[in-house]
Structure formats: C-alpha cells, structure tokens
Structure 1
Amino acid sequence: MVLLRLSFACWDYDRMKAIEDGRVRPEGIELVFLNYRVEETFFRQLRFQEFDVSELSLSSYVLTLNQENPPFIAIPVFPSRFFRHQSMFINSKAGISTPQDLKGKRVGIPEYQMTAAVWQRGIMEEEFGVPITSVQFFTGAIEPSDKPRISKVAHSYPPGVSVTAIQPGQNLSQMLADGELDAIFSATTPSTFDTRPDVVARLFPDFKKVEAEYYARTGILPIMHVVALKRSVYEANPWIAKTLTKAFAQSLDMAYEPLLQRAALRYMLPWLEDHVAETKSLMGGRERWWCDGFEENRHVLDKFLEYSYNQGLAKRRFKPEELFAPNALESFVV
C-alpha cells in the first residue's frame, strides 16, 4: 500500500507523543512529525504555508476564515488548552484589588489577536464587567530577549478600542515593574514576577480556586490551539480529516496511561497521584478531563467565537461547526 506522506508541525506534547514516536500511525498516511515550538510553527504556517498539517493558534485560524479563500481547514483536535486567570498580572501599587479596578488602566498584551488575550478580555468583560473599551491596551514583546510580536494574519481593531504599540527597546515585563503599565494579560509569566515580587503580582493570587469555580459554572477549559490541514491538501484527499482525527484520539487516550501508572513514576512529580485526584475532583469527577472532539467542545468553541466577534476579530459570528472539516465532526470510540 502506498502511503500518503504528510508533514505535521507541532510541539511534542504528551498527548502527541504516540503520534511522534510511531505507536499510533494514521491509516494510509506517513505522518512526518516536526517538533517545533509554537511560535515557529505559527509563523511558518500562517505566513508561508510550509506544512501539510500543523498546530495553529485558534484565534489566528479563525482570522483566516475571514478571507475569501481560507487556506486551512481544522479538525476538532486541541493540542493546547489553558485556564487563563492565572496569567493576568498587575502592578501591586496601581490600585487594583479587584478585576473591576482595571477600568481606565493600562494593560499590556503581546498581540491583540492572540488566543490567550481573546479569552482574557472576554472573561473580564463577561464575568467582571470590564469592557474592552474601558482600558488602554499596549502591545509588544514581554521580555527584552523576545522579538516584537507582529500579527501573522491581518486584522483591524474595532471602534472605541485603544491599542498602542510600545516603543522599540521597551518590553512589557519591565514596563509593568516600573509602573508604566498597570497590568499584563499574557500566555507566559513575565520575568519580573520572579525578580520584582515587591511590585508584580497576580490579579488572582488564588487562581486555582478561581479557575475551578469558573469551570464548575461554565464547563470551559479554554482551547488555545487547534490542528489545521492545508485546505489544498484536504480537498485533494478529504478522507485524511477523519483518519487523522481518529489517530489523534488514540494518541490522547494513550497519554492518560502514564499519568495513572502507580508501579513507578513516569514523571518527576512525587505527588502525581494526589494531583491527578485533585484535578478529577475540581473538574467534576471526570476521568477524562482533557478531551478532543466536536460535540464535547461545542460550548467552548461557541464562547470563543462569541468573544472573537465581539472583539472585532471575526468578521461574522461563526458557528462552531463552520471551523471543521464536515467528515471530522463525529466522535470516535477509541
């Protein structure tokens, strides 16, 4: 049998390990795993479409759907998910004791359209009554060593939203510590959180409790990234969407085994068993707290699409099913 050779650019997450090492092989496909960090993958794929299949920012992918001929089509596989309350940071001298105190403040974000910031702005507006028009956003590199963030997909800003690029040589982390910014919404932790604990703090110090309560109310573990196929490759071989979705489901299922193994610890976490038990408890007792698939995640995707549209990014209010190859929407029993 002649296999269809496809390149796949993705970070080597635990849920992707069985794909990377060959324990799971998609039927009829020779999948060449390219282990790149997310920023490199996003840049190369969104600018140059270098890979047949890749991990993509959910927000950037939705932006590509604004185009007359979208270059990608996704399958309901989500390599990265992350509660985002924990990555909101404040200058502790800026007079911010509650989220509502962010009104009128200066908030640094690496990039307006980045997925983490879309979730964070949406949560602030919906959950805490802080409209995106009530703060001033400043975009730029988090650290001095970071390259300036340039949007990889064209977009505009909605009326009434203030977005200003910081000056060359500046970085958000130092600006927060120096009081030039009042807060940072990010995906990563600014270095000044460790080097300047006297002035840089989390907006939600007890973030795990806040995030667990958020999940209990909403059932949302925010999706950050999606797996997308180059549309030209998919249209020439539509069967690959379903086949890849099935393979990724198998790989995710296999990632749970080392977490539950008790004869010896696969990871360097002495209290792993307790952490797994706590995670199950905080997430409603679910045995599989991290899941792919469309129906299981429809409500998460719908919320993100609401935020994307309300924040002036998506040109229309997409429906969740519009994001994916039609033949990949049904779940598999693995």
Structure 2
Amino acid sequence: MGDTPTRETPSADAPLSVVLGNHPHTRPLKDGTVPVDGVDCHYPEFSPLPPAFARMVRHLAYDICEMPMATYLQARDVGVPVTLLPVVLVGSTHHRSLTRLPDGPDLDPRELAGRRVGVRSYGQTTGLWVRGWLQEEYGVKSSDVTWVTTEDVHVSQYTDPPYVERSDSERVADLLRGGDVSAAVLGPKAIGGQGAGLVPLVKDAEQAGQAWIERHGTVPANHLLVVRDDVLRTRQDDVRAVYRALEEAIMSTADERDDSPAGRAVTAGWSERLTACLEIAGQYALEQGLIGEPIDVAAIEEKAAFLER
C-alpha cells in the first residue's frame, strides 16, 4: 500500500486547475461561453485523458478532475482525499464492449469461464460494467476468467488479484488479433479505433443493454467529477461556481445529445438514477475485488450537500 497523496492547497486567488475531457457539454466552459462566476479556471488538455486520472489519484495534481467511476471507487476505498460531485460526463451500456473477432469462434458469454479476456486494466470502468453483467446475467464471476491487461490501474495502492495477468502488448485489440485472448473489452472510443472490425460477443448487445437499463432504472456512468478535499474546504464557493457552470453547460447543450443511453447518461445533480448507479457500481466493484469495503452512497451524497446551499 502506498501513502495517501498530499499537495499544497492553492491560495484563494490562484486559478483553479479543472481537468475536463473534450465533450460537447464541457466545451462551453472551456471556450468561455458559459463563464464560471468569479473564478479564474485553467483547463489543462490531455490526449489521451487517462494519464490525468492517474496523476489525480496518485499526486492530487489538479483541483477538480473528471474521473472514471471505478477509479473513484478505488480511490475512495484507499482514502484518497477527494469528494464526488454529482456530474455524469460520460456513460452508456456496455454489452457491446465485450468483443470478438468477426471470423472467430461464436462464443456464448458463459463459455468465457476458464478462458482469457483482454482489458486495458483491471480497474478500467468499462471492464467493471462488463464483468458486472457477465456475473449478473451469465453467472461468470471475475475469478472464473484470466484478465489480460496492457496497463496498470490508476490507483497505485491497489494490487491486481491473482487471476489478472499483465501483457507486453500495448493495445487490447492486438491481444485478440494475435490469439492471446478469446475476447476483448474495449471502451467506446477504442471500439471505433483499435477495435474497428471487431464484433460484440453478445449478438443482441443493444437490446441487452436496454434491458439492463430497464431492470436497474439507470444508465451505467463511466466518467464523473471529483474535487480535492482541501480545495473544497478552503474554496467551497469557487467549487460551487464551477459545478453550477457545468450544470448550465449540460442543460444548454441538451439538444446536442440524442435519446441513446450515451445521450441520456449525461446529467448534473443528485437523483434516484445516480444513486442507483453508484450503488450498483459499488456492488460490482466489491464482487470483483476492486474495493475492500461496501460503499456508503448516503455518505458520498452528504459530502456534496454544500452544492444545494
């Protein structure tokens, strides 16, 4: 276990460093269309974005940061001092995220037990959701599969379980094309990039994803938003202003999102849907050994109650 990260708290008049991906609903903040009232914000750019997540949970490198669900749950589990803000920046269903070669074996998901499956890291949020529905719908537990990874988890204090193996390959899709794994978990961007030509292992993936939504009353969230606890203590009004601006930006760009799960996932504010999403993700994370203790969603919501004052 590593030490809990610390960093000097920024002075009250210093710009806030706010890491946000380039989404239609974050663009208004970055280009100034929606100003953050009374706060000077600096928006560091990252391409790709994941290295920023690791820097945030390992070094508290930024004041406010977009954060994957699984990374947040793991960071909270080991005591990284960050608070969740009720914003879903990216989300969708993930039955289509479990892929195979188009000319490969037509596997039933149940047949993955005893096989090898590629995933960027065991702590990747897409993998969290995929393993969740694999167990829930097909009875395949995380420990039934050997998970072959190409990257470490973002939270340095975490140690992968014994059924996780690290590959020298740089890309998950290459593991599949090279015959090292029977299936590969790919995030939304990777599906259209390195995963071009691959097909979902689940034949009716879109319908299965919709059935998951109807069953649980929520859409899986991938990326949320966190703030450093020390920044929240010393600059609460500024943090509230950033949240309010992002809330406005999400509302003002509503017509740019369709009625797909990805479009409906983007939200700001606490709701029964977000509470359910956190509860399910927490349950999945506990079952998969990503966290050691059950999460207390009520305590998470209470830490962010200042936003409503």
TM-score band, normalised by shorter chain: 0.7 to 0.9
Q: Partner of 2:267: helix, strand, or coil?
A: coil
Aligned to 2:18: 8
Q: Partner of 1:75: helix, strand, or coil?
A: strand
User: Does structure 2 conserve the Cα–Cα contact (< 8 Å) formed by 1:294 and 1:331?
Assistant: no
Between the aligned partners of 2:199 and 2:213, the Cα distance in structure 1 is 23
Q: Percent identity?
A: 19
Correspondent of 1:298 among 275, 293, 297 = 275
Pair 181,233 (structure 1): closer, same or farther in 2 beyond 3 Å: same
Deviation at 1:151, TM superposition (A): 2.3
Q: Partner of 2:87: helix, strand, or coil?
A: coil
Correspondent of 1:87 among 70, 73, 97 = 97
Q: Partner of 2:67: helix, strand, or coil?
A: strand
Correspondent of 2:152 among 150, 153, 160 = 150
Aligned to 2:227: 229
Between the aligned partners of 1:302 and 1:52, the Cα distance in structure 2 is 26
Q: Partner of 1:76: helix, strand, or coil?
A: strand
Correspondent of 2:299 among 315, 322, 327 = 322
Between the aligned partners of 1:290 and 1:315, the Cα distance in structure 2 is 29
What are the ranges of 5 or more consecutive residues in structure 1 without an aligned counterpart?
Answer: 141-148, 260-275
Correspondent of 2:75 among 64, 70, 83 = 64
Aligned to 1:268: none
Q: Partner of 1:120: helix, strand, or coil?
A: helix
Measured on the aligned residues, the alpha-carbon RMSD in Å equals 2.8
Between the aligned partners of 1:124 and 1:329, the Cα distance in structure 2 is 37
Kindly provide the amino acid, as one letter, of the partner of residue 132 in structure 1. Answer: S
Pair 209,251 (structure 1): closer, same or farther in 2 beyond 3 Å: same
Between the aligned partners of 2:20 and 2:231, the Cα distance in structure 1 is 18
Deviation at 1:297, TM superposition (A): 0.8
Q: Partner of 2:41: helix, strand, or coil?
A: strand
Between the aligned partners of 1:232 and 1:21, the Cα distance in structure 2 is 27
Between the aligned partners of 1:25 and 1:170, the Cα distance in structure 2 is 39
Pair 78,258 (structure 1): closer, same or farther in 2 beyond 3 Å: closer
Deviation at 1:179, TM superposition (A): 2.3
Pair 218,13 (structure 1): closer, same or farther in 2 beyond 3 Å: same
Deviation at 1:75, TM superposition (A): 0.6
Aligned to 1:163: 164
1:108 aligns with 2:118: yes
State the TM-score, normalized to the length of structure 2: 0.83
Aligned to 1:145: none
User: Does structure 2 conserve the Cα–Cα contact (< 8 Å) formed by 1:173 and 1:191?
Assistant: no
Aligned to 1:182: 182
Deviation at 1:253, TM superposition (A): 0.2
Q: Partner of 2:17: helix, strand, or coil?
A: strand
1:155-176 deviation per Cα after TM superposition (whole angstroms, max 9, x unaligned): 1345xx511111x357432331
Pair 6,42 (structure 1): closer, same or farther in 2 beyond 3 Å: same
**1:1-334 alignment runs, 5 A limit:** 5-37=15-47, 38-68=49-79, 70-91=80-101, 95-140=105-150, 149-153=151-155, 154-158=157-161, 162-166=163-167, 168-169=168-169, 171-187=171-187, 188-189=190-191, 193-194=195-196, 197=197, 200-258=198-256, 276=258, 279=259, 290-295=266-271, 296-324=273-301, 326-328=303-305
User: Does structure 2 conserve the Cα–Cα contact (< 8 Å) formed by 1:25 and 1:31?
Assistant: no
Between the aligned partners of 2:122 and 2:112, the Cα distance in structure 1 is 17
Aligned to 2:6: none
Between the aligned partners of 2:163 and 2:77, the Cα distance in structure 1 is 22
Q: Partner of 2:89: helix, strand, or coil?
A: coil
Aligned to 2:9: none
State the TM-score, normalized to the length of structure 1: 0.78
User: Does structure 1 conserve the Cα–Cα contact (< 8 Å) formed by 2:24 and 2:256?
Assistant: no
Moved more, 287-296 or 45-54: 287-296
Pair 191,50 (structure 1): closer, same or farther in 2 beyond 3 Å: closer
Pair 52,325 (structure 1): closer, same or farther in 2 beyond 3 Å: farther
User: Does structure 2 conserve the Cα–Cα contact (< 8 Å) formed by 1:73 and 1:229?
Assistant: yes
Deviation at 1:77, TM superposition (A): 0.9
